[in-house]
Amino acid sequence: MKQEYATSQPAFAADYAQALVWEQHCCLPLDPDTRVDELWRYAEAGASFVSVNVGYAPHGIADTIRVLSAFRRHVLLNPDRYVMAASADDVRRAKATGRLAVAFDLEDANPLGGCIDTVQTYYDLGVRTMLLTYNQRNLAGSGCHDASDGGLTEFGRDVVAEMNRVGMVVDATHCSYRTSMDIFAASTAPVVLSHSATRAIHDHERNVWDDQIRACAATGGVIGINGVGIFLGDNDTSTGALVRHIDHAVGLVGWEHVGIGLDFCFAADDVNDELTQNPDLFPPSYDQWDRIDFIEPERLPEIATALADRAYSPEAIRGILGENFLRVAQAVWR
């Protein structure tokens, strides 16, 4: 699809305050004692919504529920700052009242405990997105770092069907090629790649090929470009690196199917700890840097300006900043 250009492009900075900015994935330390108010950095950067991870591959039900309950309680006890996002209208309400809408996500099917019944439970507690596999094979399918790709399992297909039923967004990030393509084919609702980058721009196994991006868009979904240096380039966290990935995805599927999922980690030291504690989940390519760098939420206005400087129209910039993911939420969340 052809990128939309404006014939006369004013600076978008004046429009940024009116844009609904949506962060599809970020990571707080997965500890019930975490200082959840770190999320307010997104609000100060102009965001109106953030999806916060509450569990991934090493976590079972008990650990995940403890973290989820603590984060949820903090959000509910601070209504002056936060709105628990149960619907797309809640996100619009947060924008209108200067607050931050919060929902949760899961990075793996392991927190389900091998039972699809728990999909509904997590949804009722505020989980609005779940990806099926995190880097390595689990009960649902294969991961992007598996040596062999077995695709989506029968259990994985049941999970996708249950997520469609309850209104949880299906996410193919971190999945193997075949598992992701199986997910796109199996889901009856839009699927997202919540925090991915384009493999044509930087050839890393965690990134996605062009046909995966096209298949995601064909479901009505969105690819959220992440801000992780090792996926954007050689640990490159420049705004230009992120925008190159946005440009490539827009060139493939149009701006209507591209968004932001920075995957910002509030405690970078925790990332290095995870690499050490869970070596099976992360291949050696993750260890070649002294530390993995991230694009921080404060960079969101600069990203908007960079898009304007590249002659994206105001409509396209608003879509990429948040309205595209809002559209998916409107279509999927019950």
Question: 217-268 pLDDT, tens per residue?
Answer: 999 999 999 999 999 999 999 999 999 999 999 999 999 999 999 999 998 7
The band of 279, judged by pLDDT with boundaries at 50, 70 and 90, is confident
Predicted confidence band at 271 (pLDDT cuts at 50, 70, 90)?
A: confident
What interhelical angle do 239-253 and 210-218 show, nearest 10? 60
Q: What is the pLDDT of residues 88-115, one digit of tens each?
A: 999 999 999 999 999 999 999 999 999 9
pLDDT at 7: 34
Query: What is the C-alpha separation between 115 and 182, in angstroms, rounded?
Result: 20
Residue-wise pLDDT for 116-162, tens only, equals 999 999 999 999 999 999 999 999 999 999 999 999 999 999 999 99
Amino acid, res. 207: N
Residue whose structure tokens are 């999970």 = 159
Token pair 């190159």: residue: 244
- 121-133 per-position pLDDT tens digit: 999 999 999 999 9
- 208 phi and psi, to 5 degrees? -115, 145
The domain locations on the chain are 13-332
In the chain, where do the E strands start and end? 21-27, 47-56, 82-84, 100-107, 127-131, 169-171, 191-196, 223-225, 258-260, 264-265
User: What is the reported pLDDT for 13?
Assistant: 67
Least confidently predicted of 17-21, 136-140, 220-224, 287-291? 287-291
Of 16-30, 99-113, 285-299, 307-321, where does mean pLDDT reach its minimum?
A: 285-299
Q: Name the band, by pLDDT with cuts 50, 70 and 90, for residue 3.
A: very low
> CA separation (Å) from 142 to 114, 191, 200?
15, 17, 22
**CATH code matching the domain that covers 13-332, chosen among 3.30.70.520, 3.20.20.140, 2.60.40.3080, 1.10.10.10:** 3.20.20.140
- Computed over every residue of the chain, the mean pLDDT equals 94
Residue pointed to by tokens 């949760």: 104
Averaged pLDDT, 289-295: 88
Q: For residue 6, what pLDDT band results from cuts at 50, 70 and 90? A: very low
Q: What amino acid occupies position 59?
A: H
pLDDT band of 1, cuts 50, 70, 90? very low
Predicted TM-score (pTM) of this structure: 0.94
How does residue 8 score in pLDDT terms, banded at 50, 70 and 90?
A: very low
